[in-house]
């Protein structure tokens, strides 16, 4: 009898098929009409975003994607495929590793079909989002379950819902930062995470534990899936690895979509925080993006270029982005270890 194999599904957010406006429009339409990303009634969400927001935003976003694109295409895609290949090599013949995107291609459906065709015994799903959020990890989990519900045979499926404090994840981030610190002295470190609306945190807080304050200073049974608490936990652990005191780093949040006055997102906002730093004597900043495991628009362009320009315009000296984990050997080992343990 042939030895049974374990299926592995690695999932990242998604990317347009090309940096051209029609492909960017298709990507944004799928992304921004996800009810877990924009949690408003579908009767409002679809006409608002498909009819107004996306048509206005797509040409602007396409210009930014053209800056990001390389000879290999979208970094989020090729880093994901590189990770898939290396994790497959690390795990060996007892596993079948597939890679999919929540939005656009390769799709989660195509990746699951690959595992189904391989007749795997069970499936381990790893959304590549370190800190759990309904708009990212939760959306992937919902999509996977929506697809497999139509299978005649549904194998055992387990989800790795977060790895914000995974030792190998923390160690790999710290190693990347340490390499930058050897090149130059930095006055301060910034940990910039993708923002989400505060209401998303409250919707996932049935015990009313959240106060958007010191409640996030430790991870407990009550806040173990709080995105904000997990971001602070990741930052504390990386800071400890780097020997940083609390005064030497700032945790902040980027990429908010709507006006903070009408719809507050997690704070402090990265752009606001960095503009205040030069007046405090902070001239050289090392920036991490620990919500992302692969370089993408939000890291390379937003943190690496736009925030750098803003920091320098307000009197800063040097702003340096730490590269994401991508398919670094230490990160590949960590991913393989998490899968084996599941």
Distances (CA, A) of 8 to 15, 145, 167, 169, 241: 21, 15, 21, 18, 30
Count the Cβ atoms, other than its own, within 10 Å of residue 133: 26
CB-side exposure of 188: number of CA atoms within 13 Å?
24
Tokens (6 digits) for 116: 């189904």
Helix intervals (H) in 125-197 = 139-148, 167-181
Contact 172, 341 (CB under 8 A): no
Q: Is 298 annotated as a binding residue?
A: yes
> Pairing mode, if any, of strands 156-159 and 95-104?
unpaired
CA dihedral of 20, 22, 23, 26, whole degrees rounded to 10 = 150
Q: Is 194 annotated as a binding residue?
A: yes
**Nearest of 207, 208, 249, 204 to residue 227 by alpha carbon:** 204
Tokens (6 digits) for 86: 């290396």
b/e map 90-129, b = 16+ CB within 10 Å: bbeeebbbbbbbbbbebbbeebbebbbeeebeebbbbbbb
Q: How far apart are CA 130 and CA 101, in angstroms?
A: 16
Contact 271, 310 (CB under 8 A): yes
The binding site for Fe(2+) comprises: 194, 298
The binding site comprises: 194, 298
């Amino acid at each position: 009898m042939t030895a049974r194999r374990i299926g592995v599904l690695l999932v990242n957010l998604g990317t347009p098929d090309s940096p051209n406006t029609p492909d960017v429009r298709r990507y944004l339409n799928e992304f921004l009409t996800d009810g877990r990303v924009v949690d408003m009634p579908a009767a409002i969400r679809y006409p608002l975003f498909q009819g107004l927001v996306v048509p206005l935003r797509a040409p602007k976003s396409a210009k930014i994607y053209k800056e990001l694109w390389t000879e290999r295409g979208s970094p989020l895609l090729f880093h994901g495929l590189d990770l898939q290949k290396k994790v497959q090599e690390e795990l060996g013949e007892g596993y079948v590793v597939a890679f999919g995107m929540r939005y656009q291609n390769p799709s989660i459906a195509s990746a699951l079909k690959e595992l189904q065709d391989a007749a795997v015994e069970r499936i381990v799903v790893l959304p590549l989002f370190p800190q759990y959020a309904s708009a990212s990890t939760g959306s992937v989990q919902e999509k996977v379950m929506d697809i497999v519900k139509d299978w005649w045979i549904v194998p055992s499926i387990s989800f790795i819902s977060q790895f914000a404090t995974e030792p190998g994840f923390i160690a790999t981030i710290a190693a990347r930062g340490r390499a930058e610190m050897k090149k130059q002295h930095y006055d301060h470190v910034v940990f910039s995470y993708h923002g989400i609306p505060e209401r998303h945190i409250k919707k996932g807080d049935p015990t009313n534990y959240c106060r958007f304050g010191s409640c996030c200073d430790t991870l407990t049974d009550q806040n173990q899936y709080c995105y904000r608490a997990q971001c602070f936990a990741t930052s504390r652990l990386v800071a400890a690895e780097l020997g940083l005191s609390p005064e030497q780093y700032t945790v902040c949040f980027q990429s908010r979509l709507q006006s903070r006055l009408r719809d507050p997102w997690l704070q402090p906002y990265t752009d606001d925080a960095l503009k205040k730093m030069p007046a405090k004597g902070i001239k050289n900043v090392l920036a991490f993006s620990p919500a992302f495991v692969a370089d993408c628009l939000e890291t390379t362009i937003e943190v690496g270029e736009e925030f750098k320009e803003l920091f320098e315009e307000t009197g800063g000296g040097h702003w340096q982005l730490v590269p994401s984990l991508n398919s670094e050997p230490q990160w590949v080992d960590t991913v393989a270890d998490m899968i084996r343990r599941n």
